[in-house]
Amino acid sequence: MKAFTSEQELLVAELLAEQVRHLLIVRGHYEEYHWASLYRAAKGAPRGTWSNLQFRDFIHEGIGVEWKILGSDAPSAAMGRSVMHPSGTRRIEFDPTESADSCKERILTQWCRAMDEFEARVRAHGKSPRAEIRWGVLLWGRDLGEFLYFEEPMIRPRHADYDARWETRTGRGKQTQSLYIYEKRTGKKRFSVTHPSQGAKLQPYFDVPVSRSDVHLFSVKSADVYPIWVSEETRAALRERIGDTDMDGGLRRLLSQAGDQPTQHGDR
């Protein structure tokens, strides 16, 4: 589902371009606090304080959103596929000596309880009993050229709708054991749970919508854009001459016009 109105989407695109220009200068990565400030601005919500704590990302006017942000080589190529977030929560406790099904029930019960607590916080924060809780998934291009965002309702998983099994895999020469939880109806893997000996983490999977109409896809032309430094006086003069809508194109026109002017060499 989409999260922004047409007007909000335009503002997000503008703010993303500003953030990308800054990150290109400092050679930084896109982080959750970048998205938090942008999202709040687009929604007209108070800036607040960004928190890395579980289920505290965004609460405003009866809506709560928990963000999951992932780097991607090609965000739009993920449409129609499932993506896994490496850490849904680190507050999962279970006994790995129990059966896979028992572990699944303990894990999903804790997951649902976390959603209940989130919903209660959203309801307590607002002025009405309304409380809508959602996931917000952002895939950001590692070259900072493309961003894909969508939201989906938080749905509490029913134990009976899932199967679970322990699986051992080898990576980097080491064997690791994880609990995988599959949706019975589709056979899709919905959760990966790391073994407590490695620090228990619940890793959820999200289905990226197939349709362009269900996502926000932002393209930021950044690969061939470089920062220039000018004084505030020059910046104001440029804005007066060429405006804010196409600064790059306006500068090229000014340079072209300057190149067409005859050079004054004086008498020799």
Q: Where are the beta strands (DSSP E) in 28-154?
A: 58-60, 63-72, 82-84, 132-141, 146-153
Q: Is 189 left (phi over 0), alpha (psi -120 to 50) or beta?
A: beta
- According to the model, what pLDDT value does residue 267 have? 44
Q: What residue segments make up the domains of the chain, in order of their start?
A: 6-219
Confidence of residue 244 (pLDDT cuts 50, 70, 90): low
- According to the model, what pLDDT value does residue 268 have? 40
- According to the model, what pLDDT value does residue 165 have? 96
Confidence of residue 38 (pLDDT cuts 50, 70, 90): very high
- Sequence-distant (≥ 6) Cβ neighbours of residue 216 within 8 angstroms: 2, 3, 4, 9, 12, 148, 149, 150
For the chain, percent of residues with pLDDT exceeding 70:
90
pLDDT (tens digit, 9 = 90+) per residue, 195-234? 998 889 999 999 999 999 999 999 997 545 566 767 888 8
Asked if pLDDT for residue 130 goes beyond 80, the answer is yes
pLDDT (tens digit, 9 = 90+) per residue, 40-95? 999 999 987 667 778 989 999 999 999 999 999 999 999 999 999 987 666 789 99
Residue 193 CB burial class (10 angstroms; 0-12, 13-18, ≥19): buried
